Amino acid sequence: MPQLKCPLDQSHLVDSKTSGEESSTCDQCDGVWITTTTLESMEDNAASDDMVKGQRQYGKHVVDHECPHCGDQMIRFRYRGYNIEIEACPNDAGFWLDKSEDREIRDVMKQRGSNLGRAASAEKSWHSARRGDKVGVFQRLKQLFGFN
């Protein structure tokens, strides 16, 4: 398998595998590539009712970033209607999350936290994830979408 390149700065992505989930990260910009298989296995584990499969994409538009996997232009969209935009391979190979999405995820966590009275625990998980290594993005995603 050829080495994947970051769609933003063309750095080589570094494979990382944590608790059975595969991802590739960019050391340059901290972006993360996750495969569709990985995301779907995360979604299969989701217990919450608002995680309905097939309602993942909102506000799709094509962006000028090449998919690390196939080189086609990626599609940017809102993940399940949250205020988070991520990019996806047009051929369903996987998803790209960049640093700004990281920040938006944190904002959404704060919103959710205050809505649900869970601000303290959301903040705590965020900060403990921040101290971690590259596992962090998945932990935050899981917490955000209620996978754990």
The footprint of Zn ion (CB under 5 A) covers 6, 8-9, 11, 26, 28-29, 31, 67, 69-70, 89, 91, 93
Residue 29 or 135: the one with the smaller Cβ distance to Zn ion is: 29
Q: Which residues pair with 78 in a beta bridge?
A: 58, 85
Residue 80 CB, shortest distance to Zn ion, in Å, is 21
Cα–Cα dist 37/93, whole Å: 8
Residue 7 or 113: the one with the smaller Cβ distance to Zn ion is: 7
Residue 12 or 127: the one with the smaller Cβ distance to Zn ion is: 12
Residue 2 CB, shortest distance to Zn ion, in Å, is 12
Query: Which residues, other chains included, contact 133 with Cβ-Cβ below 8 Å and sequence gap of 6+?
Result: none
Cα–Cα dist 47/133, whole Å: 26
Cα–Cα dist 32/46, whole Å: 21
Residue 91 CB, shortest distance to Zn ion, in Å, is 5
